[in-house]
């Protein structure tokens, strides 16, 4: 009989960690393991969404999954146990060994260990061919493939499985965590996706291919026998019977955005100023930099030069780079610039920042900007990357918008909105000519930035974009 001490020693609990700075809760987006699966130290077991980002959680010890304490979609407080691991599964082995028929003794003793829930099904099928000899090898191979994928091993998938979908014979579709996330964001059921990857693994291209016809053939997809669960079950909202309203729970990043924007709008007195500027020379400079050998391998676009222009303007007007400390009634001057870049993602708006952007050369700034955008697009931005920003740029021009009145990121003093760059009639050297023109909008905290200071910063940015050589003369 197993004693209480032995039982407690066998099972270890993993609690929801604080994956950010002082976060109190997180939502479990996806479990990558199920009870009975073997896990190893460092293996990712689930993906959670905090108020700042989606984060994958690795397990810190080896063992077999004993219990998942919360289902997907549950918001869990930091410190609560989310999974229990059996770290000594061998201790329970004698009690779990079934009594086999005499023919079972001929089974090879050196077979590869399998998971609880998969191994039993595989062995029983092999030992009773009279119940379906033709299906036995296929079912066994499928179970082994599912087990290998869940455990992170590269065991080859059986060639006998017909590539009708990504779900092996009632098992879990074979796909890596980023691919599962992409499918969830696009509302694609992986069980309906035809895998083309090695060993029957679903790739990103497979998911995109499934998403294309899914939009045009939604009714057929719902009625498909391969996907018994309609796509609507994956939607984050609840659709009413009349289909005239959809209620979406406010949580995760969206909840954080709402709280931050309300807090900022009703705490910091906002002032927004506008300026329209001829950026034709800036566009020419961007085109020339793309051909420069020193900029090889990095992405060059107008946003890069705008970011550099803002950094130079801050250097010329350092008082704008500050924060208001309400508790201590102090203005905190920042002698560094962590430049935030507002990024739209499937989960909502996030503002990661480039640390110490003021110290970076133009190639270094271009590289950091490219990495920031790529990480945000893939949904891999960490909470640390979004902490500590001082000023922000939001490029609304990518949506064809002329300008806007941006709301300050909490704790920051200013935010620059960049509108669409359009060919417009402009007076240039006394004549009306078509020129590349854009509108800039600077919002700032009027508690610590006076109108004069805010106007100087905006005017400096505009002057640099009109005459990019000022990047040299003013820097």
Tell me the DSSP string of 294-315. GGTTS---HHHHHHHHHHHHHH
Q: What is the DSSP letter of 391?
A: E
Phi, psi angles (nearest 5°) of residue 354: -90, 115
Please name the helix (run of DSSP H) or strand (run of DSSP E) that holds residue 252, with its range, or none: helix 252-265
302 token code pair: 């107008």
Q: How far is CA 9 from CA 5, 12, 135, 228, 248, in A?
A: 6, 7, 41, 41, 43
Q: What is the DSSP letter of 152?
A: T
305 token code pair: 């030069």
The active-site residue out of 66, 153, 270, 446 is 446
d(CA 340, CA 343) in angstroms, rounded, equals 9
Q: Is 446 a catalytic residue?
A: yes
Given strand 75-77, what is the order of strands in its sheet? 54-58, 44-49, 25-31, 75-77
Tokens 């600077």 locate to 442
Tokens 């009634």 locate to 329
How many CA within 13 A on the CB side of residue 201?
Answer: 20
Return the SS3 of 124. helix
Q: Angle CA(84)–CA(87)–CA(91) in degrees, nearest 5? A: 120
Alpha-helix runs per DSSP H in 83-171 = 93-96, 119-127, 136-150
Residues involved in catalysis: 446
């Amino acid at each position: 009989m197993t004693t209480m001490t032995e039982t407690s020693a066998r099972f270890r609990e993993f609690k929801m960690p604080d994956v950010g700075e002082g976060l109190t809760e997180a939502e479990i987006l996806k479990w990558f393991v199920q009870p009975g699966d073997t896990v190893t130290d460092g293996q990712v077991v689930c993906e959670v969404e905090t108020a700042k980002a989606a984060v994958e959680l690795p397990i810190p010890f080896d063992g077999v999954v004993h219990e998942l304490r919360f289902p997907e979609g549950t918001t869990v407080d930091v410190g609560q146990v989310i999974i229990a691991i059996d770290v000594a599964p061998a201790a329970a082995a004698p009690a779990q060994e079934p009594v086999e028929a005499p023919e079972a003794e001929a089974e090879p003793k050196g077979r590869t260990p399998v998971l609880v829930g998969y191994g039993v099904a595989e062995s029983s099928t092999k030992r009773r061919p009279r119940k379906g000899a033709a299906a036995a090898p296929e079912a066994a191979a499928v179970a082994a493939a599912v087990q290998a994928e869940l455990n992170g091993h590269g065991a080859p998938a059986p060639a006998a499985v017909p590539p009708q979908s990504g779900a092996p014979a009632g098992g879990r579709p074979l796909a890596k965590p980023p691919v599962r996330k992409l499918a969830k964001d696009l509302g694609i059921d992986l069980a309906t996706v035809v895998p083309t990857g090695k060993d029957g693994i679903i790739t990103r291209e497979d998911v995109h291919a499934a998403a294309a016809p899914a939009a045009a053939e939604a009714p057929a997809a719902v009625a498909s026998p391969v996907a018994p669960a309609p796509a609507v079950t994956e939607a984050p909202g609840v659709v009413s019977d009349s289909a005239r309203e959809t209620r979406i729970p406010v949580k995760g990043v969206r909840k954080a955005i709402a709280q931050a924007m309300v807090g900022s709008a009703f705490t910091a007195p906002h002032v927004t100023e506008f300026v329209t500027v001829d950026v034709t020379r800036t566009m020419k400079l961007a085109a020339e930099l793309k051909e420069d050998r020193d900029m090889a391998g990095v992405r060059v676009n107008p946003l890069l030069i705008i970011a550099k222009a803002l950094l130079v303007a801050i250097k010329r007007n350092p008082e704008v780079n500050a924060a208001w400390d309400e508790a201590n009634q102090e203005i905190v001057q920042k002698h560094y610039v962590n430049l935030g870049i507002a990024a739209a993602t499937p989960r909502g708006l996030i503002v990661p920042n480039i640390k110490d952007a003021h110290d970076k050369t133009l190639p270094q700034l271009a590289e950091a900007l490219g990495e920031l955008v790529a990480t945000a697009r893939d949904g891999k931005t960490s909470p640390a990357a979004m902490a500590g920003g001082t000023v922000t740029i939001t490029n609304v021009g990518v949506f064809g918008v002329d300008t806007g009145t941006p709301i300050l990121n909490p704790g920051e003093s200013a935010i620059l909105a960049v509108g669409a760059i359009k060919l417009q009639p402009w007076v240039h050297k006394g004549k009306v000519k078509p020129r590349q023109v854009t509108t800039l909008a600077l919002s700032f905290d009027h508690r610590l930035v006076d109108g004069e200071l805010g106007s100087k910063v905006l005017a400096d940015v505009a002057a640099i974009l009109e005459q990019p050589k000022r990047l040299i003369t003013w820097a």
